[in-house]
Every structure is written in structure tokens, then in C-alpha cells.
Structure 1
Amino acid sequence: MITAVGVGPGNSQFLTLEAQAAIATAELLVGGSRHLATFATSRQQTRLLDADLNGLLHELRRDHRRQRIVVLASGDPLLYGIGKWLAAHFPPQELRIIPGISAIQYLCAQVALDMNELYLTSSHGRTPDFDWLLQHHKVAMVTDAVIGPRAIADAIIQRGLRRSLIIGENLSLPTERIYRLQPEAVAQRYDINVVVILNER
């Protein structure tokens, strides 16, 4: 059986009890280096989740019927996470998904922003259609190193729009910072972050 576990926004205290139990009983843990360093024990086998998804798929298909395999996902596995990829390759009877608290959920909770009518998206490996996105009154974007807060701010300025940006950096970690800024005040660089774009007319 393969279990995809959402490990929350970063701090292990946001791990659900169900996620804790799945990780504790896993025979093979698959995850990024930070996740493996946090959750793996000496009695578990580990496999780094990297760009070699074809190799991972081969291993999972070979081993999932004889091992309890847990794939660790940042935030929630189905919110721009590994869960979608797993669901495309394994039927529901061979895949269990344990949801986690996403960085977007966490940020909204920290600033008491309701998530009603919030459009969720990601800039990981893609170029957002800002003309379409900025028609929405509330957008939450999981960013990457290419399209981050500064690129979002520039897109807003180029279109002559007024928006507020809530930037959550290193969420749930000791170095967490949350900013509420106008586009002109957005810095060039932030650590791992999520951005909420608000039309506050």
C-alpha cells in the first residue's frame, strides 16, 4: 500500500495524528531531504524524492504490494503536491491519501482571512496567466524561485491595478515572517513563501 501523507506547512507540530501513525508504521519513507531528516528513523528505509519520477514510479510499482510505503508531501498532497501524480498512476484501492494543513490554510489562519471564494494556484514550473488571475478578488499562490512575490507585484504594477499582497515566508518555522504590502513595497527576494493577492476595493 502507498500512503501519501501531508506533513503540514513545515513545523512538525502541525502533523495530524493520522499522519503521525502512518509515518511511524512505514517501512519505506519517500520524501525530500528536509522531510526525511525530520521524520525518518534508523529502522526505516528511505528514498529521496527527486526529479527522477520515472525511477520512483518503477520502485513503487515493484514494491507497494509487499511494503508499507509512505510518500511525504509538503502541506497537503493534493494541493499542488505529489498526490495528483500518485493518483494518476495508482488506483484508489492501492493508494491512501492523508490530507495535511497547507501553507495557504496556515497563512489565512494567521491573518484571519476567510478562504471563501479564494482561488488557489501555484507558480511552480509554470507561468501564471496574470490577466486571468487578477480578475479574481482573492488569489492564493504557492510560489517558486522564478515567479515569486516580486514577479507578482510587477505584474500588478504593469497592469495599473491596485492590490494588496499578503506574503507568508517560512511559515510555521522559527523564521516565519508575514507581510501585508502594496506591490511597490515588495522586496526582490523572500525565503519559501505563499502569496495572497487581495482586491480590497
Structure 2
Amino acid sequence: MTAEPRSKMVILGVGDDGTAGLTEAARRVLAEADHVLGAPSALGLVGEIAARKEVLEPEMPAALEQVRAAMSSRRPVLVCGGDPLFYGVARYVCDRLGKDGFEVVPHVSSMQLAFARVKESWEDAYLASLSDRPLATVVDRIRTAEKAGLFPDERHTPAEVARALLGQGIDYFRAYVCENLGSPDERVTQAELPELAAMEFSPLNVLILVREPGRPDRAAGGEGGRRLFGNPDDAFAQGEPVSGPVTQAEVRAMALAQLDIRPTSVVWDVGAGSGSLAIEAARLATLGAVYAIEPEAAVLALLRRNAEEFGATNVRAVDGRAPEAFADLPDPDAVFIGGLTRQFDPLIEAAFARLRPGGTLAVNVATVEALSSTYLAMKRLGAPARAWNVMIARGVEQMESLRFDAIPPSFLLAATKPAPSRG
């Protein structure tokens, strides 16, 4: 008897022990599937099956389109390691394609196994994946944590994390590295941070940090700490002899607030310059991507340098001129336009046309003439245009007195694309 078509795609979690560790119900899901998608590592865990296997693209927007297409299959399954809702793909696809299209069958996550192996509770731990957020941000959160559980990646190994912590004077954690959990070659290594900084481990590992008793936090040093957004203008390299424009910190903070960036957002920064806004947007869209469009090769190199310095691995530098550069980009949830000297009107129209419903377009201009033309262009979009005259003076100490230096005034405009009405 032929199995009835399933109305939903199953997102199935699999452990390092493969199908042997699955429940009977989960094994039945795989046996009845006709189309199975997943990363190479996840597909390798399910072994030989009758269903057609499809390897997901590493870039999330492309993988999302593969999932969307597979949902037309009779019995599609998306496999991933551990618990799909714990730093897994389930949240991303459900946010994008709607929860009603999926059924989630979880497995024990490797993080849960790791805390069990070292016999520590994890309900009060700071948990993070280093593949989707800057290492500097994670280090600042660890600073005040009692425990931390981290998923390292190829760039941010346990040794690299240890060196980053020690570099900030954070030496009051004991480390446990749990490798190949659930496999025959499983191993747990306990070490002090200076020891860990010189060690190498299997790529499949979980790092747990437990604060030593009675050790107080080590404060972040002065202006050197990285803020989530609103970093000082001089935190972004300008370079010699080339200099890329930087959106002023206060304007950046206002623009990012209007853009309403979520963890899974796709963001376009048009005329990205040195990348200040793109980088801070990336620190908010930790599971998404920021496409920084810049036509000048020398400035683009500076942008890449700043992104690397901030650990903003989800910034995608786009060498091209807008609006032509929009063609190959995924539809955005938020668009920022700034740092340009030519007319904004065609960029505004092209960007707003691609903007997802409910997303916001923000534009920063410096002249009254640009304000007038931009405001009229945004009014033609069919969405209410909001505008601010940004006039900021920064306090500066001089001898024993406080004075205020005005930064160049500018104008910020924003419009949100209406969501389709539910008739």
C-alpha cells in the first residue's frame, strides 16, 4: 500500500550515531521519504536510503530556495544534526516559509550531550554558535557569564577562543572540549585556558567554559570593546591613501533602529563605503546576511578589512554599482542607502521594488537638495515617508571645561513597505 502524501516537510534531527540513535518513528520518516535534503555532514549520517538525496547550498538564501522547491515533493525531509531548533536550520526556514509547512522531529543536541558529559547544568549557561556571530561579541558576553557553551567552527576553534579570552584578560574559566559526541571515538578534554590555546581538536566539538569559584568579572578595557551598534566613527579604519565614507555613529544608530533588523534578516547596504553600517547590521542579523554594495575597488578592500577586524563574517562585499548590482542579490528585509553623490531616485525605486513586504528602506542624505528629491521619490512609493533632521553635538573635554562640537548635519528618511492585506 502506497504511503499517503505528507502535507508538511519534516525537519529531522540526527545524532552522530546516525540512524542507530533514532526512534522507530524517526526511522520510519526516513524510510518513507522520497526527497531528503541536508548539509553533506547530515546526509552522511543517514547512510543509504531509497530517497533522492540533495546537498544544500552553503549560503542560506540559496538553501532556502532548495527547501521551497522540495516542499512540492510527496514526502520531503530536511535532515540536520541534533535538535533542529537549537542553532539549527529549523528556525530559519520556519521564519521564511511559515511554520505551518513543517513538522520538527528533534534529536538530542550535541550541546545537551556535552553538558551531560561534564556533569554541569545548562539552564543558566550562555550559549552561542561562533559561525553566526562575531567572536568579539561572544567574548564580551562570556566575560560576565557563570557558564558558557559554544559551537566552534573552522575559523574560531577552541584554541582561538582561548586566545581571544586571554587577550581580554579573561582567565577565570575552566574549559572542557567534547569531541565527536555519540561516536565511538568520543573524547572529553579538560584544560586551563593557557593550555587550551595550544591544543587542536576534531572539527566536531563543543566547548564548555565554567567559571572558577570566587573569580570576579574582568572589566572591558576602555574604548576598545566592540559595541553591538553605535561604535565610534574611528573604530572603522579609513586607510591611506584611500578613505571610505563612514555613516556617523548617531545616524547609524537611528537608521538601524528604523530598519528593524532581526536575527534572520537579509540586509542591503547601498554605497557601503568603509562598511560601518553594514558591519553593525551584521552584528544584529546574526543568522542572516548583509550585502554591502560598493563600486570603488579600493574602498571595497577597506570594507573587507573592517569586516574582518569586527569578525563580521556574514557581511558579503558586492563589487558593483547600484541598481545593476541588485540583480543577483536575494530580496532584502531592510535596505540602507547612503554615501552616494549621484541621484537617489532610481535606486530608491529599484530597492523598494525588491524589498520584502513589511521591510524598511532608509536613506541618509547630506544636502537640502538631496532631501527634497529623496522625500518626493519616497512619497511616490505608496508608503508613508518618515524624515529626521539629525543635528548632533558631541561633548568634548577641554582642560577643565566641557564644550560641544557639532558633527555635520544630515537627513534620515525611512519608509516601510506595506504587508499584503489578508482579504
The alignment's TM-score, normalised by the length of structure 2, stands at 0.44
Q: Sequence identity of aligned pairs in percent? A: 23
Q: Which moved more, 1:118-127 or 1:144-153?
A: 118-127
Match of 1:147 in 2: 156
Match of 1:5 in 2: 12
Superimposed CA distance per residue, residues 98-135 of structure 1 (whole angstroms, 9 cap, x where no aligned partner): 11111111111122211231221110143232122221
2: CA distance between counterparts of 1:170 and 1:66? 33
1:110-149 counterparts in 2 under 5 A?
Answer: 110-128=117-135, 129=137, 130-149=139-158
Amino acid at match of 1:168: C
2:83 to 76, 87, 98: 76
CA shift in 2, pair 1:151/1:108, >3 Å? same
1: CA distance between counterparts of 2:66 and 2:161? 38
- Give 1:143 deviation, angstroms: 0.7
CA shift in 2, pair 1:119/1:17, >3 Å? farther
2:14–2:45 contact (8 Å) kept in structure 1: no
Q: Unaligned stretches of 5+ in structure 2?
A: 1-7, 214-423
Amino acid at match of 1:147: H
CA shift in 2, pair 1:82/1:160, >3 Å? closer
Match of 2:190 in 1: 180
2:180 to 170, 182, 185: 170
Look up the SS of the partner of 2:181 in the other structure. coil
1:194 to 206, 228, 241: 206
2:50 to 40, 43, 55: 43
2: CA distance between counterparts of 1:196 and 1:42? 35
Amino acid at match of 1:197: L
1:76–1:100 contact (8 Å) kept in structure 2: yes
- Give 1:160 deviation, angstroms: 4.3
Look up the SS of the partner of 2:50 in the other structure. coil
Q: Which moved more, 1:140-149 or 1:50-59?
A: 50-59
| Equivalent pairs, count | 200
Matching of residue 28 in structure 1 with residue 35 in structure 2: yes
CA shift in 2, pair 1:34/1:160, >3 Å? closer
Q: Which moved more, 1:105-114 or 1:140-149?
A: 105-114
- Give 1:65 deviation, angstroms: 3.8
Match of 1:88 in 2: 95
- Give 1:178 deviation, angstroms: 0.4
The alignment's TM-score, normalised by the length of structure 1, stands at 0.89
Look up the SS of the partner of 1:174 in the other structure. coil
2:31–2:50 contact (8 Å) kept in structure 1: no
Which has the greater radius of gyration?
2
Look up the SS of the partner of 1:60 in the other structure. helix
Match of 2:315 in 1: none
Match of 2:261 in 1: none
Q: Which moved more, 1:93-102 or 1:109-118?
A: 109-118
2: CA distance between counterparts of 1:119 and 1:184? 21
> What is the root-mean-square deviation of aligned Cα atoms in Å?
1.9
Look up the SS of the partner of 2:175 in the other structure. strand
Match of 1:106 in 2: 113
Match of 1:156 in 2: 165
